[in-house]
Amino acid sequence: MVLRYLHFYAPRGLRVARAQGQYIWDLEGRRYLDAHTGHGVAFLGHRHPRIVEALREALDTVMVAPPGMAGPWLEEMLEALTPLLPGRMEYVTLLNSGAEAVELALKIARRVTGRRGIVYFTGSFHGRTMGALSVTSSNPLYRKGYEPLIPGTRRARFNHPEDLDKAIGEDTAAAIVEPIQGEGGVNPATPEFMKELRRRCDEAGCLLVVDEVQTGFGRTGRVWAHEHYGVEPDILAAGKAIGGGFPVSMVAVPGWVAEKLPPGFHGSTYGGNPMAMKAVAAASRVLVEERVPEQAAEKGARLRGILEEMLEGARVVRRVKGMGLMIGVELRLRPDPVLRCLQEEKAILALKAGSTVVRLLPPYLLAGKDVEALARGVADCVLRLQGG
């Protein structure tokens, strides 16, 4: 019998040999500019020296320690994270994936409020586990065949503040939102929507869960995308970029939430392991010292500016959208040929979002020439689609 791998994703026709900074090399030695970064994970660049150093330190000292027996790496991480977390967040815990962070956020909301309702939005993506999937609606195929999912969820329209009074009520434990929907198509929330969501949650006594698994850690030009809106979460979920490439996720809550959680209310074998904590500490220091959010804002604006200029008037383009280095080019057609053209002809890796969007999630350390190559490559491949 030949053992084969059960793939969840369609193969991209590329075999990776190694990666460094903003580049990936395939087995033939061809170099690609990486605007995929493993769905945004390698936002600090591949193998950032500070992350490699931190992980090496861990490998040389400790790889495994039970969650109740943390060493100095715990304090080190808390200290590095403190300046990055929103003011009211006094507690943080680590898990292993974005979906797990969302699961915990939903569990906390139910536990703390004693209510069961969870409101989520059209176009949302929060992960593929049963709980996270129950509040995901970006693609009906993700849910197909898995129902019944968890009861008590209710879907409302994204960016329709007028619907929130009705959608959120006395039985609502939480509303969960992405400030910019990633998987669903790079759709930024409107300021009115975020403000009304915060107001309605306060009024109805439900917790606002902000899922920053994709938008967080500097990508949008602020440490957290919710900062653009002046709206603070009650529960913050993060993942992807926070470990500088190491698989780890995080949930942060204010003191008044943490106080209502008894010992043993959740558990995770790998959650908060020494490797993950060292990685998060190192990534946090890099974010501050290298002014990562500021660089993402500057380079994102430049990338977007060139793209908009080159694509102006293009019939196949609906709009260019996003914030910082989270950019979507929304087309009137499927984006697959553009992604193929980018990979094969321009040696650029990008990804899809929704059914019509080319999504760019490059690392913050792009050089000026990378920004130009990326913009030109995308514009060329998009324009080719319309035969222009």
Ligand X SMILES: *Cc1c(COP(=O)(O)O)cnc(C)c1O
Contact predicate 353/184, CB 8 Å: yes
Given the complex with ligand X, which of 188 and 377 has the nearer CB atom? 188
Q: Is 34 in the site for ligand X (CB under 6 A)?
A: no
Question: Using the rule CB under 6 A, which residue among 51, 99, 197, 339 binds ligand X?
Answer: 99
Is 386 assigned to a binding site? no
Q: Per the residue annotation, which of 34, 43, 121, 125 is the catalytic one?
A: 125
x-or-dash string of contact with ligand X, 159-178, rule CB under 6 A: -------------------x
Nearest distance in Å: CB 192, ligand X: 21
Is the distance from CB of 321 to CB of 308 less than 8 angstroms? no
Please select the residue that binds ligand X; options are 197, 213, 242, 353, rule is CB under 6 A: 213
The reply, when asked if residue 181 is annotated as ligand binding, is: no
Contact 47, 19 (CB under 8 A): yes
Task: State how far the alpha carbon of 366 is from the alpha carbons of 234, 241, 243, 291, 375, in Å.
Answer: 33, 16, 19, 13, 12
In the list 196, 211, 330, 370, the residue contacting ligand X (rule: CB under 6 A) is 211
- Judge whether 113 is annotated as a binding position: no
Distance CA 143, CA 367 (A): 40
# binding residues, ligand X (CB under 6 A): 15
Helix (H) / strand (E) containing 353: strand 351-353
Question: Binding to ligand X by residue 103, rule CB under 6 A?
Answer: no
How far, in whole angstroms, is CA 127 from its chain's centroid? 10
Both tokens of 269, joined, read 């074998």
Residue 288: burial class (beta carbons within 10 Å; 0-12, 13-18, 19+): middle
Which residue is catalytic, options 34, 211, 234, 370? 211
Residue of 43, 158, 193, 240 marked catalytic: 240
- In the block, tokens 């222009």 appear at 388
Among 214, 273, 284, 295, binds ligand X (CB under 6 A): 214
Q: Is 239 in the site for ligand X (CB under 6 A)?
A: yes
One residue of 97, 113, 172, 343 binding ligand X per CB under 6 A = 97
**Cβ atoms of 360 and 324 closer than 8 Å:** no
Choice between 22 and 96, CB closer to ligand X: 96
Which parts of 269-328 interact with ligand X (CB under 6 A)?
none
- In the complex, the smallest distance separating the C-beta of residue 241 from ligand X, rounded to whole angstroms, is 11
Is 8 flagged in the annotation as binding? no
Would residue 240 show up in a list of annotated catalytic residues for this protein?
Answer: yes
Q: What is the DSSP letter of 93?
A: E
Q: In one letter, which amino acid is 325?
A: L
* Look-up of token digits 């698994």: 213
User: Which one among 48, 126, 285, 299 touches ligand X, defined by CB under 6 A?
Assistant: 126
Residue 327 β-bridge partners: 322, 360
Q: Does 226 bind ligand X (CB under 6 A)?
A: no
Determine whether the annotation assigns residue 213 to a binding site.
yes
Helix (H) or strand (E) holding 155: strand 153-156
Judge whether 169 is annotated as a binding position. no
Question: For the CA atoms of 45, 51, 53, 58, what is the dihedral angle to 10 degrees?
Answer: -150
| Cα–Cα separations (whole angstroms), residue 164 to 157, 167, 168, 182 | 9, 5, 6, 22
CB 18, min distance to ligand X, A: 23
Residue 183 interacts with ligand X (CB under 6 A)?
Answer: yes
- Give yes or no: 211 in active site: yes
Return the residue matching tokens 């990666």: 19
Q: Which stretch binds ligand X (CB under 6 A): 42-50, 122-130, 322-330, 375-383?
A: 122-130
Cα 193 from chain centroid (whole Å): 20
**204 part of the interface to ligand X, by CB under 6 A:** no
Say whether 252 counts as a known binding-site residue.
Answer: no
**Contact present, 150 and 176 (Cβ < 8 Å):** no
**Is 265 an annotated catalytic residue?**
no
Beta bridge partners of 120: 155
Work out whether 102 is an interface residue with ligand X (CB under 6 A): yes
Q: Which of 21, 45, 98, 254 binds ligand X (CB under 6 A)?
A: 98
* Strand (E) or helix (H) holding 235: strand 235-238
Q: Which residues are annotated as a binding site for substrate?
A: 128, 268
Using CB under 6 A, list all residues that contact ligand X.
39, 97-99, 102, 125-127, 178, 182-183, 211, 213-214, 239
Q: Which residues are annotated as a binding site for pyridoxal 5'-phosphate?
A: 98-99, 125, 211-214, 269
Indicate which residues carry an active-site annotation: 125, 211, 240
